[in-house]
């Protein structure tokens, strides 16, 4: 539940927490994690927005790409078996760990 | 700052990659978007974080909606985890400015390393997949 911690997104903690502690299956953990990220990102946007740290031009461009990507990714997930999702998530977690060590 | 046509293409590509990962792995995608904005587009760190959060809000909303229609959202679980997660994220944002940040980052990195290795090693028979 240490979401948003140190500027790192919540999903990387939420997903393993839900599969490991709450025994949710991989597909549902990914979907539920995304739903929880919505209010977290909303709060963050308000805080950064009030400080004037949100450049809406960049949001529009990055957002256009990422919203399309999210639709593709969410639909694609249904075709990926749970073990493959775990492998992908594992690689992602190790990559982030490596970046954290190196920075 | 001026945004060139080339920048727009790079930003779209960064967004697309972040979005696919987000929808697929249930993450926000800011771990991709922030370095993309800072390193490839020269956006200042704080602005990059703000932009990533705002873009992430839209991305997660759309991704969660699709997952919901695919019956992959445990709404009741999301409801009782979300308030705590929001509270902790505020706490985390506040604590991020403290001296212990570097030390905490190390601990966090080790935890992630363990989580990642576990996911890889037990990808076929881990606890999480047993309940189906």
* ipTM of the complex, rounded to two decimals: 0.90
| B10-43: pLDDT as tens digits | 999 999 999 999 999 999 888 899 889 999 999 9
Q: Which of A55, A64, A100 sits opposite B12 (nearest CB)?
A: A64
- Which residues of chain B make contact with A14, given a CB cutoff of 8 A? 26, 81, 85
Looking at the structure, tell me whether residues B11 and B64 fall in a common domain: yes
Q: Which of B33, B105, B112, B127 to mutate to test the interface with A (most CBs of A within 10 A)?
A: B112
Q: Do A41 and B60 touch (CB under 8 A)?
A: yes
Looking at the structure, tell me whether residues B51 and B2 fall in a common domain: yes
DSSP letter at B36?
A: I
**What is the rounded distance in angstroms from the CA atom of residue B111 to the CA atom of residue B128?**
17
| B50-90: pLDDT as tens digits | 899 999 999 999 999 999 999 999 999 999 999 988 887 77
Looking at the structure, tell me whether residues B54 and B10 fall in a common domain: yes
Is B121 contained in some domain?
yes
Looking at the structure, tell me whether residues B84 and B121 fall in a common domain: yes
Q: Which of residues 53-92 of A touch B (CB under 8 A)?
A: 53-59, 61-78, 80, 82-92
Per the structure, the count of domains in chain B is 2
Q: Indicate if the pLDDT at residue A2 is higher than 60.
A: no
CB burial string A17-28: b at 16+ within 10 A, e below: bbbbeeebbbbb
Instruction: Compute the nearest-CA separation of B6 from chain A (Å).
Output: 12
Is B111 contained in some domain?
yes
What is the C-alpha radius of gyration for chain A, rounded to an integer number of angstroms? Answer: 15
Domain that holds residue B84: 75-127
Is B92 contained in some domain?
yes
| A7-66: pLDDT as tens digits | 566 788 899 989 988 989 999 999 999 999 999 899 889 988 998 889 999 999 999 999
Per domain, the residue ranges of chain A are 5-102
Cβ contacts of residue A49 below 8 Å, gap of 6+? B50, B54
């Amino acid at each position: 539940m240490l979401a948003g911690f140190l500027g790192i997104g919540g999903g990387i903690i939420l997903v393993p927490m839900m599969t490991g502690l709450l025994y949710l299956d991989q597909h549902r953990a990914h979907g539920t994690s995304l739903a929880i990220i919505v209010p977290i990102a909303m709060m963050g946007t308000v805080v950064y927005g009030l400080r004037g740290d949100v450049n809406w031009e960049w949001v529009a461009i990055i957002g256009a790409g990422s919203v399309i990507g999210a639709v593709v990714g969410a639909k694609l997930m249904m075709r990926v078996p749970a073990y493959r999702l775990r492998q992908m998530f594992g690689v992602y977690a190790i990559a982030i760990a490596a970046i954290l060590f190196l920075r | 700052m001026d945004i060139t046509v080339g920048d727009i293409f790079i930003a779209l590509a960064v967004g697309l990659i972040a979005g696919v990962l987000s929808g697929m792995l249930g993450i926000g995608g800011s771990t991709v978007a922030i370095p993309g904005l800072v390193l490839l587009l020269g956006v200042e760190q704080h602005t990059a974080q703000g932009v990533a959060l705002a873009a992430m809000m839209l991305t997660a909303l759309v991704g969660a909606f699709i997952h919901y229609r695919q019956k992959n959202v445990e709404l009741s679980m999301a409801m009782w985890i979300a308030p705590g997660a929001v509270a902790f994220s505020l706490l985390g944002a506040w604590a991020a400015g403290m001296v212990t940040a570097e030390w905490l980052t190390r601990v966090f990195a080790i935890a992630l390393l363990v989580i990642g290795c576990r996911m890889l090693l037990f990808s076929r028979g881990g606890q999480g997949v047993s309940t189906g």
